[in-house]
Structure 1
């Protein structure tokens, strides 16, 4: 039996690991060459640095590894997201390096409207929590924009409807930024268009729009999915230009509608929101002009009536001047009577004054004045006599002060004071002289200590060169130069400096010169003014 087992074992074909892995890979790929798998995305962390995406599809019982190659990932209409239930199309294969099988995904779509709505609702809540849909951030639309930027497909019916509607209501400048309104690149193109319009400079070659319209016709949730892209929502919220969302029909909605400043039910409705009707504005202006003219006319008429009423209420000129005229007439009549009465009063006063100027009264007045003058003369003579008596008495007192015995007493007192002052002056002068002599002695001792001849007395000497200039450094004594030495009591005759070898250098200056007669300096005694 054991022999049969060994024989049977030898009849089984042997495979290497690589061979069995390759056989399994071919079997799986041939059997499941093209399959559709439904499952929930798990473990998705975004595309790899190589551009490939790796994740897993799972349900409540099993798990299937999945990979999306870089070329296929760029073509996906829906990008994978964590937790999204999708239906993928691809082929199964194995990975021999780890004995695993996986599906290579070529296409991906949501598992149904329910999954898309759940994803849309989750994205809406997240963006709303960031404040991108806040009502206070909405900007008012300009009443009459000069330039309108439209982000839509350049070949669809939407742009034609917007153009015709704006042309009918109020023709103005339109700028169209062509984009795809459906497909995998829709969101990126729409967000780039909104950012591009906002990046246009003021006063540039291309006019900057005052209002933006993002428009698309109706469609299913999958058709409008590009306008639910997060990049589109963020671009609309960050736009500094007011934006109208006109995506789909009345019942359609997208996340762009929440982020836009105004939502239009249709693209045509967006055009109606963007501009007013020119004919209505003209009619309104004409009506306002007519009302303004009528109001001005009515105002002028009312003012005229008021002026007329005020004019009627005013009295006439004769009525206003009647009372002043009467007062003037009365004053004119009373003026003559007043003048006659004044003349008679002045004449009566003059007669009374003239009656008082009789010769008897004048003589009596003169007698009174002469008596007053005599009395004043006697008073003046009496006052002069009193003054002379006072001055004579004062002069006598002054003369008595200069008698001989009084003058002698005062001279002795003055002589005593003079002698005392002389003694004090002699003592002060002697003290000042002593102080000046002490200060001069101190200065003389200081000057004597600074006298260079005092230094020479201690055994020092001064070496003088040409021009009687003292030589203080050894290097200044050049071999062959003449010098003389000054001692405390005279100078030695000029000498020549030798070189270090003790020889006299052969220079004209080194030749012995005939000693010149020099007058012997007489030693003078040190006097006080020598140092000054």
Structure 2
């Protein structure tokens, strides 16, 4: 290059010729040799990630722009994800791109230009996510009082997980599932988000139990170290979690965006473990206290009610005094019961005998009348009577001049109808006779049952004087001769010591209602 300049300035010398590739190669060598690795401060402009995975973006100030690129393999070493509007300090090698006559900066390290810019970007992201409602209190879920399984998203090799396990063991031992993640750097945000979504994807009651509570934990560090927990992907995963989640990132003074989206923010990982489960000994003491309170309350209530019962019982009468009057009424009723039953039975038997005496003649007359009616009906419905009627009808028809063929047809029809009617009448007559015979037999059984002869068969007798039935001793003593009817016949007797009185002086006796026969007892 120096020879080229010297030749151009030499008087009368001709300028050498270079190819385009030689010139761009010389420029590239000069640029890279003069600058090498450089640090540039500016604001990130547009950011584009190619399908190949390489990043292309601009770093600019108020007057100039320099194109930057980070190859796919260098992205993990950046420590952060470039976003438009961030003020950063980038470190890399300056190079040229000959096919487009451009120069660019290949960036392999990136850092925030200052805390002020980082906080401004964080505040901007917080407002945007809050506008979507991801931080609303209505989205937050209550924490379970005593979870069976606790899922922890953290580094498996740090002191954080040991502190959590130790605190859980001291307070109330529970089952713990650990999802190992990187808690710093470029891989932090996607791994934490995947851990939260992975725990939520577990099936309740499956081979691997689904946690009842999640803890996302990390120890303290700078703002840059905790930046992965400010990423949007992590905040959205926390807001979408169906499992209640406790955030325990950093120390008490550290605040990340995951704290706003979580259901509870713990100041430290140890504080998260304390919030997750109660103290077992405290619960046992509380149960003992409640048991003592309940025992004292039950004992006091029983004692108070016992005293109340004793107080009320003093005002009640003695049981013997209460039962004295009912016992006396019961004894009197028992004494009256036997005579009453006997008297009731005698009255019922006397009424039955009187009814039987009145019923015998009436039943006989009714049976005789029904038999006569039945005989007349049977005579009217007999086949001989029907045949006679048929012959009379034929003689009447013979007196009329009618076409023989029509007469034959009508006669056949009439004979069929008469035959049918005869059969039906015979069936009806037979059914009527059977029905009336059954009625007569029933009435006969009733008459026999209610008749006084059935009473005689049970050991009783009827005393008569002529045709009059005697029911009193005075009547029998006044007669000169008596006739006693037994079940198997009658016997004439003369009463002992009979003193018959003149008929004129004998007062007329009024018959008792219900017949002439009284009680047989």
TM-score interval w.r.t. the shorter chain?
0.5 to 0.7
1:320–1:203 Cα change, 3 Å: closer
Tell me the residue number matched to 1:126. Answer: 128
CA 1:104–1:285 in structure 2 vs 1: closer, same or farther (change >3 Å)? same
Q: Of the candidates 24, 36, 41, which is equivalent to residue 38 of structure 1?
A: 41
| TM value normalised by structure 1 | 0.59
Displacement, 1:20?
2.2
Deviations 1:284-318 (A, max 9, x none): 11111122222221222122112112211212245
The 1:111–1:242 alpha-carbon spacing in structure 2 relative to 1, beyond 3 Å, is same
Write the distance in 1 (CA, Å) between the matches of 2:96 and 2:127: 40
Query: CA 1:197–1:12 in 2, change beyond 3 Å: closer, same or farther?
Result: same
User: Could you tell me which of 306, 315, 318 is aligned with 1:316?
Assistant: 318
Q: CA deviation at 1:6?
A: 13
Partner residue, 2:480? none
**Corresponding position of 1:14:** 17
Moved more, 247-256 or 11-20: 11-20
CA distance 1:6–1:60, change in 2 (3 Å): closer
Q: CA deviation at 1:141?
A: 0.6
Which residue does the alignment assign to 1:256?
Answer: 258
Q: For residue 179 of structure 2, what is the aligned residue in structure 1?
A: 177
Show the counterpart of 2:238.
236
State TM-score, norm by structure 2: 0.60
Q: Deviations over 1:200-221 (max 9, x none)?
A: 1122222211111111111111
Say if 1:14 and 1:328 are closer, same or farther in 2 by CA, change over 3 A. Answer: closer
Name the SS of the counterpart of 2:40 in structure 1.
Answer: strand
1:307 aligns with 2:309: yes
Gaps of 5+ in 2: 1-7, 337-521
Query: 1:319 and 1:228, CA in 2 relative to 1: closer, same or farther beyond 3 A?
Result: same
Match of 2:32 in 1: 29
**Equivalent-residue separation in structure 1 for 2:112 and 2:12 (angstroms):** 52
> Matches of 1:66 and 1:216 in 2, distance apart?
33
Q: 1:282 to 1:182 in 2, by over 3 A?
A: same
Using the TM superposition, name which of 11-20 and 27-36 deviates more: 11-20
Post-superposition shift, 1:246?
A: 0.6
Equivalences for 1:283-362 in 2 at 5 Å?
283-317=285-319, 319-320=321-322
Cα offset for 1:58? 0.7
Q: CA deviation at 1:88?
A: 0.4
Residue 15 of structure 1 deviates from its aligned partner by 2.7
In 1, Cα distance between equivalents of 2:10 and 2:40: 46
1:95/1:317 CA distance change after superposition, 3 Å: closer
**C-alpha deviations, 1:374-399, integer Å up to 9, x for none?**
xxxxxxxxxxxxxxxxxxxxxxxxxx
Measured in 2, the distance between the counterparts of 1:325 and 1:246 equals 85
Distance in 2, matches of 1:277 and 1:325, equals 69
Over 3 Å counting, the alpha-carbon distance change for 1:320 and 1:120 in structure 2 is same
Q: 1:39 to 1:311 in 2, by over 3 A?
A: same
Whole-angstrom distance in 1 between the partners of 2:26 and 2:58: 24
Aligned-residue Cα RMSD (Å) equals 3.4
In structure 2, relative to structure 1, the CA distance for the partners of 1:116 and 1:330 (3 Å cut) is same
SS in 1 for 2:99: coil
In the aligned structure 1, how far is the partner of 2:284 from the partner of 2:191?
A: 39
Change (3 A) 1:197 1:8: same
Where in structure 1 are there 5+ consecutive unaligned residues? 336-532
2:76, 2:187 within 8 Å by CA — same for their partners in 1?
Answer: no
Structure 1 residue 274: Cα displacement: 0.3
Q: 2:154 aligns with which of 142, 147, 152?
A: 152
For residue 9 of structure 1, report the CA deviation from its aligned partner.
Answer: 5.0
Alignment-derived partner of residue 276 in structure 2: 274
Distance (Å, rounded) in 2 between the aligned partners of 1:30 and 1:325: 132
Equivalences for residues 75-224 of structure 1 within 5 A: 75-224=77-226
Alignment of 1:57 with 2:98, yes or no, is no
CA distance in 1, matches of 2:116, 2:79: 18
**What does 1:357-396 align with in structure 2 at a 5 Å threshold?**
none
Shift of 1:328: 11
> How many residues are aligned here?
347
Shift of residue 195, structure 1, vs aligned partner: 1.1
Shift of 1:123: 1.2
1 or 2 for the larger relative contact order (CA 8 Å, sep ≥6)? 2
Tell me: CA distance 1:324–1:33, structure 2 relative to 1, closer, same or farther (3 Å): closer
Report the CA distance between 1:164 and its aligned residue: 0.9
Q: Per-residue CA shift, 1:36-79, capped at 9, x if unaligned?
A: 0001111223x111222222111111111112222212432111
CA distance in 2 between counterparts of 1:6 and 1:198 reads 76
Deviations 1:148-186 (A, max 9, x none): 111111111111111111111101111111111111111
CA distance in 2, matches of 1:111, 1:325: 110
Distance 1:6 1:76 in 2: 46
Distance 2:160 2:57 in 1: 40
- SS of the equivalent of 2:216 reads strand
